[in-house]
Amino acid sequence: MTPHRVVALCLGRVVAFDLSIAAEVFSRAADGGRSRYEFEACAPVAGRVASTTGFRIDGVAGLGALERADTVVVPGYRPVAAPPPARALAALRSVVERGGRAISICTGAFALAHAGLLDGRRATTHWSSAGRLAEMFPAVTVVPDALYVDEGRVLTSAGLSAGIDLCLHVVRRDHGEAVGASVARAMVAPPHRDGGQAQFIDRPLSEGDGSLAEVRAWALEHLREPLDVATLAARAAVSPRTFARRFVAETGTSPLKWLHSQRVLEARRLLERTDVPIERVAAGAGFGSAPSLRQHFRRATATTPTAYRRAFRGAAASAQRSRS
């Protein structure tokens, strides 16, 4: 199996943390000791690039590296107002035009916007820069509270650690839930983080508000049972209205959206690891019926449960044959 080639495009003064996220996540996705991805960094001028934290990074390639890229990752950088060099934007566009994938972390979204890759698409960036992105690029639909936005071949993430969420999402999309979870464990990171970046914007909680982590943990153990806001609120010993308000404050999403996302994750695990019929997958994940599973699964993954199982069980079988 030829590794998928990931190239990070370093612009301006690159955010070193963003760059290291991509390097760590993709380098840790291995299959029997063999890397599933190859990673390289490049810049408009080969050699050395400056970072926002004061040190410089040596040994980066020139833009020719993008000619071999299957995926280009643009880490955050400063300044973002002026367009990057025209030849860097042209190289960035060329990756997508030939069927590759473009990913931005944090303010790397501005480079994708300068290249025209976000026109007519939804996108996100660090919450403190979301308004500026929307103002500078009115053709882009900015989603300011998302951790990441997947638009197929163009994906964007919110600030800094949200890049971990996006890169893990890409690994899951490429190789399935089990591989994504394995990389997350190695990085001591959650395989899937709930909610959006609204939960990280500085704002006070009402006095007396406490964590609902125990209720969420309990819900994960009872996903196959009927669950609603009233049931979860009773578990937390608060009113449904108070529970919903506190839940959104803690996670950045509503209780029902969170439940649907967790049930889709459970369905993905069952589809990858078992051969049980779709009806039993629906029951095990708490959707109740196969039609309900198909509806929510397609909305979350843009594919059907059957197609998902065929793709990832088939990939696992092929990998096993290649190792034997």
Q: Which domain holds residue 254?
A: 210-324
pLDDT of residue 272: 86
pLDDT of residue 301: 80
Question: Residues 216-257: pLDDT tens digits?
Answer: 889 999 999 999 999 999 999 999 999 998 888 777 778 998
Instruction: Let me know if residue 194 belongs to a domain.
Output: no
Let me know whether 235 and 299 are in one domain: yes
Instruction: Let me know if residue 201 belongs to a domain.
Output: no
Query: What is the pTM (predicted TM-score) of this model?
Result: 0.71
Per-position DSSP letters for 246-281, written without gaps between them? HHHHHHSS-HHHHHHHHHHHHHHHHHHH----HHHH
pLDDT-derived band at 315, boundaries 50, 70, 90: low
pLDDT-derived band at 197, boundaries 50, 70, 90: low
pLDDT-derived band at 196, boundaries 50, 70, 90: low
Instruction: Let me know if residue 111 belongs to a domain.
Output: yes
Question: Residues 254-304: pLDDT tens digits?
Answer: 899 889 988 998 998 899 889 999 999 999 999 999 999 999 998 888 789
Let me know whether 166 and 218 are in one domain: no
pLDDT of residue 199: 46
Mean pLDDT calculated for residue range 66-87: 96
Integer Cα distance of 250 and 200 in angstroms? 9
Let me know whether 313 and 263 are in one domain: yes
pLDDT of residue 322: 45
Kindly tell me if the per-residue pLDDT of 101 is higher than 90.
yes
Mean pLDDT calculated for residue range 120-141: 93
Instruction: Let me know if residue 172 belongs to a domain.
Output: yes
Most confident of 102-106, 169-173, 320-324: 102-106
What is the domain-level CATH number for residue 16? Answer: 3.40.50.880
From 136, 151, 186, give the residue that closes a domain: 186
How much of the chain exceeds pLDDT 70, in percent?
Answer: 90
Instruction: Let me know if residue 313 belongs to a domain.
Output: yes
Q: Where are the alpha helices (DSSP H) in 154-254?
A: 162-175, 177-186, 213-221, 229-236, 240-251
Let me know whether 244 and 294 are in one domain: yes
Nearest residue to 178 (alpha-carbon basis) of 27, 29, 304, 303 = 29
> How many domains does the chain contain in total?
2
What is the domain-level CATH number for residue 289? Answer: 1.10.10.60
Question: Residues 19-60: pLDDT tens digits?
Answer: 999 999 999 998 777 889 999 999 999 999 999 999 999 999
